[in-house]
Structure 1
């Protein structure tokens, strides 16, 4: 079951804060095929319940979760992953992330524990989240298994170009979280102007801009049916090269979720 790289849908569902399994079931009904949760979100059971209630086959859905920073010692990785699977009601997850390389994280100890889970078929791929380029190079030096994905904050107000370059260089997807800048997209003149030209929303422009970048997929969070649909429909919005360049040059200083 070990995978070198994952093929992720362009738009998945970030589930932080979702506490209703019906939202998960609805998202799957609309066409979402990538569900992203985490131990620290406290809603793995909600995600698992929504998945089990859906008519979409489990094999068609990429399920990802993350081990929090206080559980990254090897024994804790194995223990908490088993607990995550129990809450999710699954035999394996497609992708397991190191949530942040802080606290109990030790690359020489943590990463081999993830690799053991991958070799056993408990997880389909090893992901990392919120890593620097230097930390990514350390991962490559420790792991025999390639990184399956790197999840980072990425939106027009925070553009980690060096991390995208690393992802492209090594052939894994960069998973953009908080792609709508936590609601701040509507306050950015460039995004509003482009949205008006396309008779759409600034949020749709954010997603279309990200999806125009080779190697980037995104996981916007939403609980409302209208927004779930709108986020998927943003895949059909095509921005011109000039519009993408205008967004690329927006001042990039607003990291919303620093360590």
Structure 2
């Protein structure tokens, strides 16, 4: 049994063959997924997928690249949607310094507002971090994100930061890059993260694991992530599968 904690089945990449993609996931042993909505278009689709599929859940948040487009109206919308019985987290939110659509100051303010909302409604958060680690840590600490905890989605930092995030009540989620032949950092992270604080994901359709790198990613491939982590930790695949699924069910309060 596998739990893919971060999928984007709500974007156009899956418009033509969504049912086949879900069937392949089931065949691969993927029992649960969280569909992550991050803007006006993808959030309603995430909710719809969760409503229409028993073991699919939703997360709703505002992506840092689009922070410039978020007003208090969107924030109020997120608060209303958080009451939906199948919405289990706020996010993805955070900072992205790779793209320059939204100024850093705007990203930071939108990030802070979403953390404050999460604390208000007592809901965990999913963090998108691209080239912004020190600022992410500073804001999480200043906004007391430890009170709700969360997930460092598709963790791309070095192993030296792992304990900092663990101390803030965060889980480390690993995806396709842990399988890349030339990716040393994710492999080191996989070795040091305690099994009871580890999650797995695909971030599909992005970051497909080896040997599908460069192709469209899909939830079935989360099995390849779990298999690689098992190899790196030198433990059975079944142990990784069971632990990461248990972690996700407990953390996202899914019964």
Q: TM-score, normalised by structure 1?
A: 0.55
For the structure 1 residues 53 and 143, does the alpha-carbon distance in structure 2 shift closer, same or farther, using more than 3 Å as the test? same
Aligned residue number for residue 210 of structure 2: none
Structure showing greater radius of gyration is 1
| CA distance in structure 2 between the partners assigned to 1:77 and 1:41 by the alignment | 9
Aligned pair 1:105/2:99, yes or no?
no
* Cα-Cα RMSD: 4.4
Counterpart for residue 198 of structure 2: 216
What is the rounded CA distance, in whole Å, between the counterparts of 1:190 and 1:127 in structure 2? 23
Residue 111 of structure 2 is aligned to residue 116 of structure 1:
no
Alignment of 1:112-151 (within 5 A): 112-120=113-121, 124-130=123-129, 131-143=132-144, 145-151=147-153
> Relative to 1, partners in 2 of residues 1:48 and 1:62: Cα closer, same or farther, differing over 3 Å?
closer
Deviations, residues 126-164 of structure 1 (Å, cap 9, x unaligned): 33220413431232122363432222453xxxx532332
Structure 2: segments with no counterpart, 5+ residues? 97-101, 206-214, 235-255
Q: Deviations over 1:71-91 (max 9, x none)?
A: 4766154145269x49xx945
Give the Cα–Cα distance (whole angstroms) in 1 for the partners of residues 73 and 174 of structure 2. Answer: 27
Deviations 1:207-244 (A, max 9, x none): 9x8487423322114579x96445336535632668xx
Report if aligned partners of 1:100, 1:129 keep a CA contact under 8 Å in 2.
yes
Query: Alpha-carbon deviation of 1:173?
Result: 0.5
Q: Deviations over 1:178-207 (max 9, x none)?
A: 5367xxx3xx3899xxxxxxxxxxxxxx89
SS in 1 for 2:127: strand
Q: Which runs of 4+ in 1 moved over 6 A?
A: none
Superposition map of 1:45-194 within 5 A: 45-56=44-55, 62-69=57-64, 70-71=66-67, 75-79=72-76, 81=78, 85=81, 90=84, 93-97=87-91, 98-100=93-95, 103=103, 104-107=106-109, 110-120=111-121, 124-130=123-129, 131-143=132-144, 145-154=147-156, 159-179=157-177, 185=180, 188=181
Aligned length: 200
CA distance in 2: counterparts of 1:77 and 1:119, whole angstroms: 16
Q: Which has the higher strand share?
A: 2
C-alpha distance after superposition, 1:17-52 (max 9, x if no partner): 333552675446843323142324944444433333
What is aligned with 1:22? 19
What TM-score, normalized by structure 2, do the two folds share? 0.56
In 2: Cα distance, 1:75 partner to 1:234 partner: 38
Q: Structure 1: how far apart are the matches of 2:37 and 2:152?
A: 14
For structure 1, the 5+ residue unaligned runs are: 1-8, 192-205, 243-259
Counterpart in the other structure of 1:37: 36
Give the Cα separation in 1 of the matches to 2:152 and 2:78: 19
Alignment CA distance shift 1:143-1:33 (3 Å): same
Say if 1:63 and 1:160 are closer, same or farther in 2 by CA, change over 3 A. farther
The answer to whether the Cα contact below 8 Å between 1:99 and 1:128 also exists between their aligned partners in 2 is: yes
